[in-house]
Amino acid sequence: MSIVNKPGAISTWYLPGILSGLWLTLKYMIRNLFDKKKMPTLNYPEEVYQYGPRFKGNHILTVKKDGSIRCTACMLCATNCPAQCISIVAAESADQRVEKYPIKYEIDILRCVFCGYCEEACPVDAVRMGPEWQTAGLNGSSFSYDIQHLAYRPQLKGGILSRVDDEERHKFGI
């Protein structure tokens, strides 16, 4: 059973509310002025907050051992994406064991809601959400990430290896 406390007559006056709000602000201002260490805010961009390792930030396309892209262009991420920010164009690979691969894989990061469904939908650990979150850019096109950026941007140092390996899968007869 929930008890509803009806507002008393005093709270219908707006003045006490304003005053208590101003008091709070003043309290923290004074506290921050005298004890900088306890200040909860950061001076971004001079200071950068360190998120946990499981933070889901910007997308990464993983690569295979030979450095080629792991994605098979199955489009499950694009299908699953609630923001419809992934667009893929598939093509036939010259390597028969690969068969299908993306010639275009673009994520419109401005539309992305970082829900992580793409990562979850991927059957081959090809798309992951990495720790980066700084997505600043100067114009519209810099928010549309292509394969080059998603798989081989300098921060990734040559690419992230996928956990799913074709050779191994063949060995197990999958």
Partner 1 sequence: MPKVKLNGKEIEVKPGTMLIDAFKQAGEDIAHYCYHPGLPTAGVCRLCMVEIEGNPRMQIACNTVVTEGMSARNNSDKVKEAVRWGLNFHLINHPLDCPICDQAGECGLQDQYMKFGKYTPEMSEQKVKKRKVVSLGERVVLDSERCILCSRCVRFTSEITKTNELGIFNRGDHAEIGTFEDKPLNNNYSMNTVDICPVGALTSKDFRFRQRVWYLKDASSICTGCSTGCKIRVYYNEEGLFRIKPEHNPEVNGYWMCDKGRDIYKHVNPEARLQEARWGQVGNWQVKDIAEALREAGEAIRASVRDSHHSKVALVLTGQQTLEELTAAVKFFLSDLNSRDIYHWINNPEEMEKFDGLLFRGDRNPNTKGLLSLLASEKVSATWAQLEGKLNSHEIETLMVVGPEDPGVFPDLAAKLKLFAKAKRLVWLSSARVAAVDQVTTATWQIPLKSFFEKDGTLVNAQGRKQTLRKIATLIPAAVSVDQAVAVMSGREKAVPMGKFELNWKKTNFFVGERGSL
Q: Quick one: DSSP state of residue 81?
A: -
Does residue 100 belong to the site contacting partner 1 (CB under 8 A)? yes
Q: Torsion angle, CA of 110/114/116/119, rounded to 10 degrees? A: 40
Does residue 96 belong to the site contacting partner 1 (CB under 8 A)? yes
Does residue 58 belong to the site contacting partner 1 (CB under 8 A)? no
With beta carbons less than 8 A apart as the criterion, state whether 77 and 63 touch.
no
Q: Is 65 helix (H, G, I), strand (E, B) or coil?
A: coil
Question: What is the spatial distance between Cα 107 and Cα 100, in angstroms, rounded to a whole number?
Answer: 19
Q: How far is the CB of 173 from partner 1 (least distance, A)?
A: 3
Q: How far is the CB of 73 from partner 1 (least distance, A)?
A: 7
Which residues, 135 to 174, sit near partner 1 by CB under 8 A? 172-174
Question: What is the spatial distance between Cα 154 and Cα 136, in angstroms, rounded to a whole number?
Answer: 16
Q: Select the span of 25-33, 75-83, 104-112, 135-143 touching partner 1 (CB under 8 A).
A: 75-83
Of 15 and 174, which has the nearer Cβ to partner 1?
174
Among 11, 48, 84, 163, binds partner 1 (CB under 8 A): 84
Does residue 92 belong to the site contacting partner 1 (CB under 8 A)? yes
Phi/psi at 159 (5° precision): 110, 150
Question: What is the spatial distance between Cα 105 and Cα 62, in angstroms, rounded to a whole number?
Answer: 12
- Judged by the rule CB under 8 A, the positions of this chain that interact with partner 1 are 72-76, 79, 84, 90-92, 96, 99-100, 123-124, 172-174
